[in-house]
């Protein structure tokens, strides 16, 4: 559904962010695109969505070259940007103006999502809402657009704790076999229980692109070495609650994926991660 092949990109000549990125994303999954601030997550999403053009390599989305920006591709993808532009209009006017771009938009779903996000009584001007409220309106809109591909760039930034759980609840209800959702974030914890694919980007390289199933098959997440003494230790973190560890999972023992630990482990030993999952 999305294919990046040998992508090279830089905003300035001689300063490439990506030298040679190859990556495939398939429908029916929710990808968590993780990376530190400045790792290139937003840029990568923009290349996928045809908003930035690679210097070399090909970005294919829904079977078309992303740079062609074909109308029937653009109305089947939605990009919830981190920096939101909202016009000086009321919420209903916004929906009436923008929904026609998305043939599968459902106003009934939009109303329902607004209710879940506790915005059903909000009738004011969109640009006068708080940052978090604006974000929630656009989240409701992006989900109600029912596009085959949904990009969400740092969607939980600015959301309070109840809104973050409402967001997770909504996302769980909309994920289906035909949709591809890519959520980028540096707030790794917010994605817990939401994603089934993990893509880690660092310094212009894909360090990991694997399913959560594959990850827990290959890696063992342990506290205080209670699960097994076997396996190569890849990463350990001392916390007040014990020593958290990531080890190779040679005997395929069940453990729960800890995204934050995974991310820290991947940042510490990129080479091992790359080789383990390639």
Contacting positions for ligand ADP (CB under 6 A): 11, 17, 35, 37-43
138/120 Cα distance (integer angstroms): 13
Pairing of strands 56-61, 197-202: unpaired
- Least Cβ distance, residue 9 to ligand ADP (angstroms): 9
- Which C-beta is closer to ligand ADP: that of 185 or that of 216? 185
CB of 44 to ligand ADP, least distance (A): 7
Four-point Cα dihedral 137, 69, 45, 256, nearest 10: 80
How far apart are the C-alpha atoms of 149 and 213, rounded to whole Å?
A: 22
What's the min distance (Å) between Cβ of 58 and ligand ADP? 19
Q: Which is nearer to ligand ADP, 140 or 208 (CB)?
A: 208
Written as six digits, the tokens of 120 are 């059903």
Distance CA(253)–CA(11), nearest Å, equals: 45
Q: How far is the CB of 38 from ligand ADP (least distance, A)?
A: 4
Compute the least distance from the CB of residue 131 to ligand ADP, in Å: 18
Cβ proximity to ligand ADP: between 41 and 136 the closer is 41
* Rg of the chain on CA atoms, in Å: 20
Nearer to ligand ADP, 13 or 252 (CB): 13
Residue with tokens 């970005």: 59
Give min distance, CB of 22 to ligand ADP, in A.
Answer: 18
Would you give the DSSP letter of residue 90?
Answer: B
Residue among 20 and 112 whose Cβ is closer to ligand ADP: 20
Q: Of the two residues 208 and 219, which places its CB atom closer to ligand ADP in the complex?
A: 208
Cα–Cα dist 247/126, whole Å: 48
Report which of 181, 191, 207, 160 is spatially closest to residue 259, judged by C-alpha positions. Answer: 191
């Amino acid at each position: 559904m999305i294919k990046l092949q040998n992508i090279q990109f830089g905003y300035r000549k001689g300063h490439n962010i990506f030298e040679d990125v190859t990556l495939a994303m398939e429908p029916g999954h929710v990808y968590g695109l993780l990376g530190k601030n400045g790792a290139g997550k937003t840029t990568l999403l923009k290349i996928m969505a045809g908003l930035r053009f690679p210097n070399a390599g090909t970005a294919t989305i829904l079977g078309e070259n992303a740079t062609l920006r074909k109308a029937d591709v653009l109305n089947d993808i939605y990009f919830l940007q981190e920096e939101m532009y909202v016009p000086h209009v009321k919420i209903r006017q916004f929906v009436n103006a923008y929904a026609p771009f998305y043939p599968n938009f459902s106003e009934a779903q939009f109303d329902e999502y607004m209710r879940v996000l506790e915005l059903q009584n909000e009738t004011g001007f969109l640009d006068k809402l708080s940052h978090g409220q604006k974000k929630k309106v656009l989240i409701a809109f992006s989900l109600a657009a029912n596009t085959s591909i949904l990009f969400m760039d740092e969607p939980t930034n600015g959301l309070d704790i109840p809104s973050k759980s409402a967001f997770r609840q909504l996302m769980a209800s909309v994920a289906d076999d035909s949709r591809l959702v890519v959520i980028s974030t540096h707030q790794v914890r917010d994605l817990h229980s939401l994603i089934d694919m993990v893509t880690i980007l660092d310094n212009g390289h894909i360090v990991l692109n694997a399913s959560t199933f594959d990850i827990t098959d290959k890696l063992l997440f342990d506290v205080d070495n209670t699960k097994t003494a076997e396996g190569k230790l890849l990463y350990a973190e001392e916390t007040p609650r014990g020593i958290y560890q990531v080890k190779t999972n040679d005997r395929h023992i069940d453990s729960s994926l800890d995204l934050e630990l995974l991310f820290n482990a991947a940042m510490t030993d990129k080479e091992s991660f790359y080789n383990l999952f390639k």
